[in-house]
């Protein structure tokens, strides 16, 4: 009889758990709201910053009589971005025609005769053609190379293979062009040619690799989706609220 009473008392004690404190509930609610609002706020701020930056560059080029703020009491953002889009589209249309292509060839001929401007223009043009042309392959593959020391591995983006003029001076093995970005700023890094056999191909996308680099390893590909993490935080908050209500209700 005594054992049964102890068993029932133990079950009752284990069933009634202390409700989480007020500080814990506020923390869960705050983290849930932060996960929801943080990415949206950062995205909106970056878009607003870019639109404002373009507007400030283009607005001095537009006559005052054609600016909307001349006739409206408020400033309408985005006029500079629309102007740049229309201008670039018109430039592409003119370049596709015979007369426009001749003018572009003439302008490129002038730039090619300038000693200092020529290498800058050619390099910039090749980069833009590689990034925005669907026929070229830019960062399409992600791999691992042993760097900066044996046993330490770094992410690299594989680009074009070396040209014959460069491959002829490399050891007699297949090489690939590799770009090793820095963390957390992937726009800087190291470029080198590496033997194909020293590269371990990864089955992840370039976007996943960028997230891994920018977050310094916090966002691991294939481990946990941010949406699942948000759902887990929301579920924790709901469980805490239910436990609080259960503890506050009288026991019959």
Residues 6+ apart with CB under 8 A from 164: none
> What pLDDT, on the 0 to 100 scale, is given for residue 205?
85
E-only strand ranges, the chain: 141-146, 153-158, 175-181, 189-195, 200-201
Q: Per residue in 224-241, pLDDT tens? A: 555 555 566 556 666 666
* Domain range summary for the chain, segments of one domain joined by +: 20-133, 141-221
> What pLDDT, on the 0 to 100 scale, is given for residue 144?
92
E-only strand ranges, 84-188: 141-146, 153-158, 175-181
- Whether residue 148 is preceded by a cis peptide bond, meaning omega within 30 degrees of 0, is yes
| Virtual torsion, Cα 216, 181, 118, 101, nearest 10 deg | -80
Q: Per residue in 32-43, pLDDT tens? A: 888 778 888 888
> What pLDDT, on the 0 to 100 scale, is given for residue 22?
79
CA distance 213 to 211: 5
Mean pLDDT of the chain: 77
Please list the ranges in the chain whose pLDDT falls under 70: 1-20, 98-100, 127, 129-139, 223-245, 247-252
Q: Per residue in 65-100, pLDDT tens? A: 878 777 877 777 888 888 888 888 888 887 777 666
> What pLDDT, on the 0 to 100 scale, is given for residue 106?
80
Q: Which three-class secondary structure state does DSSP give residue 250?
A: coil
Whether the model clears a pTM of 0.95, i.e. scores above it, the answer is no
> What pLDDT, on the 0 to 100 scale, is given for residue 12?
47
> What pLDDT, on the 0 to 100 scale, is given for residue 119?
79
CA distances to 105, 112, 161, 219 from 115, rounded to whole Å, are 18, 8, 29, 46
């Amino acid at each position: 009889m005594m054992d049964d009473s102890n068993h029932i008392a133990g079950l009752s004690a284990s069933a009634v758990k202390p409700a989480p404190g007020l500080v814990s509930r506020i923390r869960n609610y705050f983290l849930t709201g932060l996960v929801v609002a943080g990415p949206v706020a950062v995205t909106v701020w970056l878009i607003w910053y870019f639109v404002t930056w373009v507007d400030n560059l283009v607005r001095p080029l537009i006559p005052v009589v054609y600016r909307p703020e001349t006739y409206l009491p408020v400033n309408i953002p985005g006029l500079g971005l629309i102007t740049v889009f229309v201008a670039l589209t018109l430039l592409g249309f003119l370049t596709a025609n015979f007369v426009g292509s001749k003018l572009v060839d003439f302008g490129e001929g002038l730039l090619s005769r300038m000693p200092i401007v020529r290498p800058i223009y050619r390099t910039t043009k090749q980069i833009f053609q590689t990034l925005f042309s669907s026929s070229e392959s830019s960062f399409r593959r992600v791999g691992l190379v042993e760097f900066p020391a044996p046993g330490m591995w770094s992410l690299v983006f594989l680009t074009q293979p070396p040209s014959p003029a460069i491959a002829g001076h490399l050891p007699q093995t297949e090489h690939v062009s590799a770009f090793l970005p820095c963390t957390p700023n992937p726009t800087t890094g190291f470029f080198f040619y590496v033997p194909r056999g020293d590269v371990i191909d990864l089955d992840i996308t370039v976007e996943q690799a960028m997230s891994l680099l920018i977050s310094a390893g916090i966002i691991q590909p294939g481990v946990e989706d941010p949406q699942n993490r948000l759902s887990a935080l929301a579920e924790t908050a709901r469980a805490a609220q239910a436990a609080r209500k259960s503890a506050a209700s009288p026991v019959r």
